[in-house]
Every structure is written in C-alpha cells, then in structure tokens.
Structure 1
Amino acid sequence: MKILKESDMIENYHLKTIYYLFVFCFLSVTLLFGCAVEKHTEENILFDAWKTMAEKSKGYSPATERHNPAFTGQGEESDLKQSSAFEKLEKDKTDAPSPKRADRPASEDLKEMRVPEQVVSEKDSENGFESFSEPEKLFPTEKISMKMNKIDVAVLLRTLARIAGQNIIISENVTGKADINISESPWNEVFYSILRTYGLTYAREGNIIRIIALEDMDKELKLLEIDKKKESGKRAFEQVEPLLTRVIRIKFADADKLKENLRQFLTADKDGKKRGAVAVNEHTRSLIIQATRSDIETMTALIETLDRPILQVLIEAHIVETSKDTAMELGIQWGGLYHHSDGNSNYWITPDANQQVEGSDTEISPGSGSVVNFPSTLEEGVGLNIGYVAQKVGRYLLSAQLSALQKQGRLNILSSPSVTTLDNQLATIESGKDVPFQTVEDGEVDIVFKKAVLSLEVTPHVIDEQTLKMSIRTHKDELDFSKPVQGNPTIITKNAETNVILFDGQTTVIGGLSKETSSDSESGVPVLKDIPLLGNLFKGKGSQNNMEEVLIFITPHILRERHLTHETE
C-alpha cells in the first residue's frame, strides 16, 4: 500500500507541474499578443494620422504683419548713438521746427473736379516718381427733392449739407435769397447749380467744405502767395536740416532693390546733390538710412507698404507619355465643374454617363476620340476651353485618373514633380541625363557630356484670390540614333512657350511634344530563310512607325496665408 501511495504522489506532482507550466505559457502568450496588438494598433493610428496630414497639407504663405521698424540710434551728421532713436525723434520735434504741409488755398479748387492734395513733396515728382495722393472724395449722388421760396442761400446750403451728412463752413459774404424747386435730382448736381447761380465757389479741406463768394478771391490769392512762401521756406529749411540716422530691419523685400528705390526720395541741396544716404547691412538684413526727418518719415511709410509678404504658389505637374494611336482610341476623359456663362447653373462633366452628380448641378456626358476628350455636346457660351481641366473639385482627381490609365497600360507617367515658389518667381523642374559624346581634336580623343533633358519653367503671377497668370516654357531633348554623326546620336530639341490665365486649382495641358520612332524587323523560317535567292520565299520584312505623345499637365494652387493665431490640429 505504501508503494502505491508514493507512485500516486509522484503522478500528481507531474500533473501539477504540467498544469502550472501550461497556465504560465498561456498567460505569457496572451500578454505578448496583447502588447503586439496594442503596439501595432498604435503604429497604425500614428501612420494614419501622418498620412492624413500629408494629404491635406499643401503649405501656407506668410501672414501679413504690421511692419515695426527697429530703432538702433540716430544723431546729427553721421554719428550713430546707442540711445533710443524714438526718444530722440520726439525730443527733436519740440526743439526744432518740423516742416508741415501747407494748407491748400481755395483758388486751386475752383474747378468742379479738383486735383487731390499731394502727400509726398514735389521733389518726388521731379525725380520721376509718381507722388502718392489722397483719393478724390466725390460728392454724394443720391437723388433729392426740394421746394423752398425766399430762403437765405446760406440756410439753403446748410440744409443741403445736412441732407448728405457733409461738414460745411460758409463765408459771411455769402448772402441773398433763393427760390428752389428740385425733384429727383442728384445731390452733386444740385450743389454745383446753386454755386454757379449765386456766384459762389468751394474749397475742400479734408472732410470740410468751405463755401466762399467770388469777391473773396483776392483774399484767397494772397493766401496762396503766403502758402508758396511757406513752401519755399520749407524747402530751404530741408537743405540745412540736420541729418538723422535710423536702422530699419527688412523682413520680406529685397534689401538691395529697396535701397535703390529709397535713394530717389532723398532731399537734394541747392547744388542738386542728395542729402543723406541709404546703405544695406547684410548681416541683419537692415537698411541704414541717414536723411532728414521728413525724408525718414516718407521712407518709413514706403517700407511699411513695400516690405510685405507675398503669396506662394504650389505647382503640381504630371508628365505623361502615351502613343498617339492609344490616345485616339481610348481618349482621356476627366470630370470637372464648370460655371455656365449666365451664372444660373453649374455643369458637372462626368467621365461616363453612369456617374451620378450630387446637389443641383447638371451632369454632361463626354464624347470620345481626342487626346484630351472634352464633351462635344456643350452649348455655345458654356465657357469650356480645350486645353483646360477644371480640377477645383477633388484635388486628386487627375492623379487618380492617370494612375488608373497607367495600370491599364494605356500610358506611362514619366514623372509627377511638384514645387512651391513665390509669386512672380521662376520655378524650374528638370529631368534628364548627361549623354557622352566622343570628339577628336588634333588627333586626341576627348569625351564631352551634353544634357538631354525634359525641363519645365513656370513663373506664376497671382492676380487675385482665385485667379493667376502663368508664364510656361517647356523644353524637350531627345536622342536620335537613326542619323548618327561620327557615331554620336543627334539631339532633337522641341520647345513650347505660352502665357495662360487659370483659376486656382485649374489644370492646363501642354501637348505637341511628340516623338516618332521607326524600327525594321525580319522574320522567316529558320535555315530556309538563309538560302541564297530562294531564301526570300521563306522570310518577310516589315517596318513599324510609332508616334509617342508627351503631355504635360500643370496645376497651380495658391497657398493662403497662415495667421499667427492658427492652431495646428
């Protein structure tokens, strides 16, 4: 009995060991599998998030910020002091008389449409630059009706000004009575008629209209002479005014070009020489301006206007190669949204008649039989131009269509480059190779390399938020081995250059860069085709010509400003 109990104990011990080992292995496998799934899921989440960001992100243009020129120092003559230039300028304004723009005399405002007051001094026009001017403030044109008898002219003018919300000052010499009966006449015509009828004229200073009698013209002419003397004194003062120095950091503009423009606004002395200087500090991209206070104020205003960020343009290109026969047989059909010329409805051009269009848009089925197959059933005036593909709806529509055709063997996508450039800046895309050529000169053999490339040069110009003009130049080199020169192939060059106006996201197509290849072949019965004379009965010769068409699809995207308060999701 004792022996049996020991064997049972041993057997139970082994069973327990196996059980615990099984439980341990099961828990370990479960734990490892759970970690692996969690890690794989986490990687998928990160990858999907990255992929989504990559597909949605196209980049941005810099946001417009208020230009805040940095003061680094100023002083008389050419000394650069470390004290605050702003405080120095404020102190100078109280110590030295600051030249002010003379008031406009009323004698210059006798004409109904007056010359607007100039903001920049006359020297700017003398230098060949157009002076900045305030826009002419036109009188209201809404129609009014009035009926009054034996009313003072001054009261009539004040009533007229109150109707249109105009500020008015009337001279004490404006007298007389008026009878008026006006029905549905423009305000400005009524105002001019009253002035002519009662021998009056006006002068406009800012938002105030001054009404004077013609007999006051002598007084106004005297004021004009005084104003001229003030202006002459102002120019004389500018010729001896102390020079101040200011440093302004340039953010976006070309500092060298900006320097050349600003130099034209420096005041000249009595000998015609410029007073002051403008220099560029390359290390900090700053302008060092030494000039009179009035010149510095003028240049600061110009820099505020000129040193601004410009938009960027993302240019996407697809360079496709296909046979002309395949293109004519298959056609390349894209869908797009087009606006009818009457503005009442949209037309969605579908790749096939079975595709449904959502919303209130009208679907149109395309025809067939051309390289870029646009529908031939559109009415006159729809505004569809051959050579354009509207891709605003669905950015990846064109890429998907081309990829599908490539999988079918209908075409070959040579490359799909994209590049971002600034507005009015040239962007170049080039693909090709260097071809070795053997040359012999004075008995010496030399190897030179020449480029055989397909290049694309695009210069975009943003017209407004939705439209841009593009200057496009394409260049294609191809090697022709059928006409070698000293064993070297010839290079055939083809160019295309054009200027087009596109909407943001619209695609233009450049074609005509075709390539013709020819090949000769011979087939026949082995051995028998090599028998002299009789061999011709057992073999045949053939030739084949292929025409390959290169199409370039160019799609520009205007990159919007990304404001500083924008949060990245």
Structure 2
Amino acid sequence: MSRSFSPAPLLALLVLLSGCAGQQAYRDGRELIAQDQIPAGLQKLQEALQQDPGNAQYRSAYLQARERATSSRLQQAERQAQAGQGNLARTSFMSVLEIDAQNERASSGLRALEREQRQGKLLAEAQKDIDAKRYDPARQRLNAILTEQPNHAGARALLREVDEKTAPPVVESGLAKSYKQPITIEFRDAPLKQVFELIARRSGLNFVFDKDVKADAKTSIFLKNSTVESAVYFLLVTNQLEQQVMDANTILIYPNVAAKLKEYQEVLVKTFFLANADAKQVANTLKTILKTRDVVADEKLNLVIVRDTPEAIRLAERLIALQDVPEAEVVLELEILEVKRSRLMELGVAWPSSLTLTPLSTSGGVGLTINDLNNLNQRTIGVSDLSVTANAKKTDGDANILANPRIRVRNREKAKFVIGDRVPVVTTTISPGTGGFASESISYLDVGLTVNAEPTIYLNNEVGIRISLEVSNLGAATTTRSGSTLYQIGTRQASTMLQLKDGENQVLAGLINNEERSSGNKVPGLGDIPVLGRLFGSSKDDSQKTEIVLSITPHLVRTVQRPEAKESEFSAGTEGSFRRRPDMAAKAPTQMPGTVIVRSGPSAVGMQPAPAQPMMTPGQVPSTLPQSVAAPEVAPSPEPAASPLPISSGQPVPLQAAPLPLSSSQPVPVVPPPAK
C-alpha cells in the first residue's frame, strides 16, 4: 500500500517561517536605525524585504530610511564641496553609494569633483600662459573649461582678460595702423576736401567722395596731439557725413542721409542661440533699445535672428549677453505640523427621558374596543422599555500630521503644494419653461492642506517669499430638495510676505482651532443635588484643540548674477548713429619729432616745425632743423611729399602735416601766398 505525499503543508510551513523571519529582521532593522546604525539597519530591512517582497510596510520603511540616510550624507558632501574640502566630499559621496549604489546625485557629485579638479589644473595653466603672454594656449584651455561648465566664473573672468588684451582696434585691421597715427592740425573755414587731402598725405589713406558731397563745403577743426581716427570722426560728425571702408586703405565719404545710408551702409545677419532667455522677450528688447526692425524670434528653437549694421550687431551681442543668464532658483524646505488634541469626559447615570404607556387589546384584535378601555388595569397597559445607563468614560487623543516637502522654484514663479482629498460637488441646473430639464455638473474642491509660495531672489542672497497656507476639513453633509449633497467645509487661512536669508528658518504658528462642548442629561430636581446629583444625571465634556505650525527654510541654488560695471554700461553712439566716438581717454599719442602744425585762415598762414620752435609768419623760412631732432620716416603717400597744392588768391595754404625727409642742412619748403 503506497501513500501519496502532498507538499502543501510543507510550503505553508515554509511561508510561515519566512514571514516570522521577515518580521524579526524588520524589527531589528528599525531598532538599529533608531540607534543611528544606518548601514546595519538598512541591511536588516533589506533582508526583511527579500523574505517578503510584496510587503508594502517593509518596502516603505526601507525606502524612507534609505532616503533619510542618503539625504543627510548628500547635504554634508555638498557643503564640503562648496567649502573646497574635496577629499572629505569624495568620502561622503562614496558613503552614499555604499547605501544606494544607483544614487545619481552622488554619482554626479563625484563627477563634479573630478571635473572641478581637472578644471582647476586647466585654470592654473591658463593663468601661467596669460602671465607669459601666451594668449592662444590660454584661450584654448579656457574654452575647454567653458565647454564643460559654461557658468564657470573664474574661466569667464580670465577669458575676458584675454579678450581685452588681444582685442582688435575699433577700426578694421587694415586701417588700424593708419588710424592710430598722431596728427596735429588747425584749420579755420578751410575747404573740406582740402582738409581730407591733408589727412590723406599724412596717413597714407585714400578718400573717395560721393558725387553728392558739396564741393564748396568748408570746415574748421583744431586738434593737437590727436589721431587720424579722431580727426576723421570729427570731420564726419560736424559736416553730416558718413564713411564706408572699401578696402585696407580706402574710405568712401558720403552724405549722412537715409537714401545714401541704404545705398552704402553694409548690414550683417547674425543668429543668436539663447540658453536661458526667452526669444520673444529678447527680440522686444532689441527693437526697443536698438530700434532694429529686422528681428525674428524663433520660439521653437529659442533663437533670435538680427539683420542690422555691424555697429548695431555688436551692441546686440552685449545686450543679449546681459539678458541670456540663468534664472535664479531656490529650494523651499517646508515642514507642516498639525497637532490635534482631544479630551472627552462622560460621567454619571443616564436615566430615560420619557415614559410611554400603551393600552393593550384583550380580544387579540388589531385595534382597541370600548370594552378594552373600560377594563384598563395594570395588566392591560403596556410600558415602553426603560433603560438606565451608567457612564464613566474618559478619552484623551493626540494626533500629529507631518508633511515635509522640498520644492525647487525659479525666481518669481509660483509653487503649489496640496495634501488632502478632492471632494466632488454636484451642481444642478434646471432649465425653465415647458419641457424643461435638469442637468448636473460635477466639480472638485480641494480639502486638506494647501500651500502656495512665490519666491523673489535678491542680489544680497536674500529671498522674499509670498506664502499662503490653507487648512480645510470636511464637515457635515446636507441634502437639498433636489437630492444634491452639500458639504460644510471648515477652513483656516494665513498669508504673509517675508524676507529671509539663505538658510534662515522661520516658523509660522498660531493657527489654533479650539472647540469646547458641554452637555448634560439629569432628572429634574434630583439631578441638582450636590454630589448625589451624579446618581440622577449624566454630563459630557468634549474639548478639541488643533494647531497648525509651518516652518519654512529657503536654500539658494543659483543667485541673481550681477553684471560687471563695464558690461552693464557702454557707449551706444548717438540718437542717429551707433558709431562710437574714438576713445579720447586713451593714452595721448606722442608727437613725432618735426611734426608741423598747419594753420589756415584769412588772417595767417604758416607752420610750426616742432613744439620748441617759434611760430612762423608767411614768407619766413627757418634756416635748418634742430640738430637734436632726427627726421622720421614718412608714411607712403600717392604723391611726392613736397608737392604743393594749386591755390588761388585768398585761399588758405594747405601744408602736409607729416614730417618731411630733410637733412639738418635742408630748408623747409613753404609755399608763400601769391602776390595781389
């Protein structure tokens, strides 16, 4: 005779044993965590979860404990990293990975430490290159840093330094040398083209005039120890003219009128990809500040395309650099605590409040007969149930409801946090008239805890917070005639505006709801006797007190970036032109030895060889140049330097301002005015 073996009892026994083992591991884990032995406690909780993977309590306890442990260690590691304690921060991040190997925040922190160490070496090497005036290698290292971390403050500062030291001149490179040549000229009511011809001979530049430039235009200009660039600029501005660079040494001069500007002025098209700013807002800024009409904002790609003059494009670059900065952000750490205390005292004897006597039928029928009423006695009169209850009850209750949300908010953006239920509210609409009908619509009302916060981040690392707190609870329900259900909702609200420093804590309390109810049920007369009255009555005292406490702490993630003074203020030309005035605050050009000062006017015509030489009158020729003055080289010019210009009677005498290649024994040629 063979017996069949069923594995079901054995499986049940194994499940029971594993459940007991999981409970023991769970209890051990909670105790170890309470003793601050986090790794050992987490290991026990993980064992309990492995014994019973579907147990929600085990999983919740394990996840919460792991989150608390990793959060505290991550905060410590980030503080150490900010303080420059890289080794300690690395150890803290590694301890987080021992608890949670998949923690992305710790992995990112380790990568950030490695990147910061590598960038620190590149920054130090770039500083050495700058000190040694090796600007190209320094720029490459700084660009490598900014590719990884665009907001690296040290790399940006050094890159600005490199740009300033290697910045090209204001004018085109082909004209830079000629534009920076020193010059001293003095003209009064001289023909404009004649003055430009003098500058051309001095600098080697070629000037081409538009046909609409007035041939009889006259000008007055007095410049000492200035530059060719400044002389050209002042001549153009004072005579309503504009210039257009044609090639390395040729400049076109034309009237500053709308038709000529459209004909000669070159325009550029540049695309600006924005990282943080809004394309539409940037486009509006360019239209308002630069009066640029050809601006296209692509909101999908978040880019701005600008078509304007080179000067306007350069200004647009600076304006966009000021706007395209990351938004400031803050983490609001909230802690909401609801403390509810209830006290109930019920003591005494509850006597029946009424006595009901009911005649009984003796015939067994449903109703009473007149004979039954005539024969009423103690057997034919029924009495309702009489019950006496002795009450001796005292109830104390304390409840704490805690919410600890962490919300990351951008500057001047609204954040909302809701904990509670959404209660349906039915609204019935009845259409009037014959054949009218009733329709119902359902809307939902948030009941519970609602927090609204709107931070404003200031430049002094302070955060202004507009915050409102609402705590609502569902009360009694009421049914209307149409069958709709209405709820009574109790609410407590508080709203305020406060300003806190980074990491400063503020507690908002005092939202207290205190309810006290007293009721009694006693026999008239007997219930009013002192002490003994407790035997002939019952009293009930109910007290409920609820208080809401809100704690808020802001932690700045990114502050508002204040631009440097030289970036926030720059020259933008005039109302009619973006052309900037030459920097007159720059180092004054050194006057070349033998520089001639030319004076032109109806009263006197002459020249002054050097500052040490006296002024000469027309017809007076110095014998020789001073022996201590060496004749400098002459800039190339299209015509011989000594060729005088054809003049007529009464015209001012134009003389070349460049030093002439003369020896110490050669006289200086001067063209005297024609005799009348």
- Asked if Structure 1 and Structure 2 have the same fold, meaning a TM-score greater than 0.5 normalized by the shorter chain, the answer is no
Structure showing greater Rg: 2
The normalised TM-score by structure 1 is: 0.41
The normalised TM-score by structure 2 is: 0.35
